[in-house]
């Protein structure tokens, strides 16, 4: 390949990266749909677990590890947001994948969400037989679409701001 062509390709690639960085997030190389779905799916339980731990600390007005769990929630949401779909990487196409994951995993069901988060709460010595725990599950289920929308927007500032309000 001619050096001039290579230099032009590099400049265009750098320009695209800088434009994405200005938007608030750098994307990874695009993945085939099945790989994209798998990568996002591997992040969701961690997002929900850590989101619920933050929410529990907010509801009970207790601070231990809240900052730590906010950071972990942000990190997993950032990871899920940076993945790109090969071909049509539109927000609507990615939303379809998220909705498939929601339905396939029944994340909008209290029993499922309980199974996703209960072991971590037990490990953290948090009583799961309380009204606060039940409220955390309800709040998480009610927030799933907000969480998905933030990931789909791929804006790290919006994700960070949201986590501060959980």
Only one residue has tokens 């009610």, namely 142
Q: Are 135 and 4 in contact (CB under 8 A)?
A: no
In this prediction, residues 145-159 reach a mean pLDDT of 94
Closest listed residue to residue 59, CA positions, set 140, 141, 144: 140
> Token digits for 100?
């498939």
Task: Give me the residues paired with residue 30 across strands.
Answer: 84
Domain ranges of the chain: 28-165
Q: Are 105 and 141 in contact (CB under 8 A)?
A: no
> Token digits for 63?
């601070």
Asked if residue 9 has pLDDT above 90, the reply is no
CA 36 to mean position of chain CA atoms: 13
Rounded alpha-carbon distances, angstroms, from residue 128 to 54, 59, 110, 138, 162: 15, 14, 13, 13, 25
pTM of the model: 0.85
Q: Are 140 and 113 in contact (CB under 8 A)?
A: yes
- How far apart, in whole angstroms, are the C-alpha atoms of residue 10 and residue 16? 10
Tens digits of residue pLDDT in 81-128: 999 999 999 999 999 999 999 999 999 999 999 999 999 999 999 999
Provide the pLDDT confidence category of residue 10 given band limits of 50, 70 and 90. confident
Which stretches of the chain are DSSP H helices?
A: 3-23, 33-59, 66-82, 91-105, 110-123, 131-153, 156-165
């Amino acid at each position: 390949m001619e050096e001039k062509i290579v230099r032009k390709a590099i400049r265009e690639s750098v320009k695209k990266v800088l434009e994405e960085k200005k938007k608030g997030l750098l994307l990874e190389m695009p993945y085939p749909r099945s790989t994209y779905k798998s990568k996002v799916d591997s992040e969701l339980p961690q997002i929900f677990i850590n989101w619920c731990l933050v929410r529990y600390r907010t509801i009970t007005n207790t601070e231990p590890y809240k900052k730590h769990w906010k950071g972990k929630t942000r990190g997993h949401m950032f990871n899920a947001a940076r993945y790109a779909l090969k071909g049509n990487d539109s927000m609507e196409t990615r939303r379809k994948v998220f909705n498939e994951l929601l339905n396939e995993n029944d994340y909008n069901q209290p029993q499922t969400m309980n199974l996703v988060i209960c072991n971590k709460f037990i490990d953290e010595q948090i009583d799961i037989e309380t009204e606060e725990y039940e409220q955390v599950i309800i709040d998480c289920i009610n927030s799933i679409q907000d969480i998905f929308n933030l990931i789909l927007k791929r804006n790290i500032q919006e994700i960070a701001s949201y986590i501060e309000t959980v």
